[in-house]
Amino acid sequence: SAPGTSAVSTRTTGRTGTAEPGTVGGLVATGAAGPLRFRFGTPRDLLIGITVVLADGTIAKAGGKVVKNVAGYDLGKLFAGSLGTLGLITEATFRLHPRPAAVAYVTVDCPDAASALAVMAAAASSPLAPSAAEIDQPRRGAPISAGILVEGEPAGVAERAERLRDLLAASAPAASAWSAPAGDLDPPASGPAPRISDTGPRVSKDTPAASAWS
């Protein structure tokens, strides 16, 4: 993908990566990543090929177009997170993953940060394979919300969400889960992506498939 290409354009291929909306070059140069790094890692971890222009005009390439063709010095890892100080990233190739058939969110309202961290630790150490995790406090004095995302096939996701809700309920005073088809939760083409902790209530309210989980 060219550096000016929106990262969300991967939705047309049926594949997805770790990045939230933004430009590919910007994501690589800043080393930024969203909550999905919990499962997939950062864009740096998924980068398999890169083309850069150095300060003297030299065009340098490293890696490949597919994973099996990657060879040589991993120049991409050097440029990832360099904030443009080493050169201009003109092309980047990433390893992608199939988009999930279904997703579910488990959100827990916690009275304090310690409780929220306990929720995160319980989710991370569980065998339920969460894809993303986030802690959010929308305003001072409001409950701290811990959001956990699970992905996969519909039946498996529903079961894992139930088990995750039961697991986390022991660590926090209240736990609620929502489930919806992945296609209903695509991020906007521009602007900030929704937070996990904000998305659960929206799904429960707006998505018929979520009614059984609210």
Nearest to 59 by CA among 70, 49, 67, 51: 51
Q: Which of 63, 98, 133 is the last residue of a domain?
A: 98
The CATH code of the domain that includes 113 is 3.30.70.3450
Pairing of strands 88-94, 132-136: unpaired
Quote the domain boundaries for residue 40.
7-98
- Same domain assignment for residues 141 and 207: yes
- State which of 98, 113, 133 marks the end of a domain: 98
Domain boundary among 50, 67, 98: 98
Q: What are phi and psi of 13, to 5 degrees?
A: -100, -5
| Counted domains in the chain | 2
Answer whether residue 2 is part of any domain: no
Instruction: Note whether 121 and 164 are same-domain residues.
Output: yes
Please count the helices (runs of H) and the strands (runs of E) in the chain: 7, 9
Comparing C-alpha atoms, which of 54, 76, 53 is closest to residue 64? 76
pLDDT one-digit tens code per residue, 165-179: 888 877 766 555 554
Same domain, residue pair 89 and 108? no
Tokens of 122: 């319980």
Three-state DSSP state, 54: coil
Residue 24 has pLDDT above 50, yes or no: yes
- 161 and 193 share one domain: yes
Pick from 21-25, 135-139, 152-156, 179-183 the range whose average pLDDT is largest: 152-156
- Sheet containing 47-53: order of strands: 59-63, 47-53, 88-94
pLDDT at 199 over 60: no
Q: Which CATH number belongs to the domain containing residue 35 in this structure?
A: 3.30.465.10
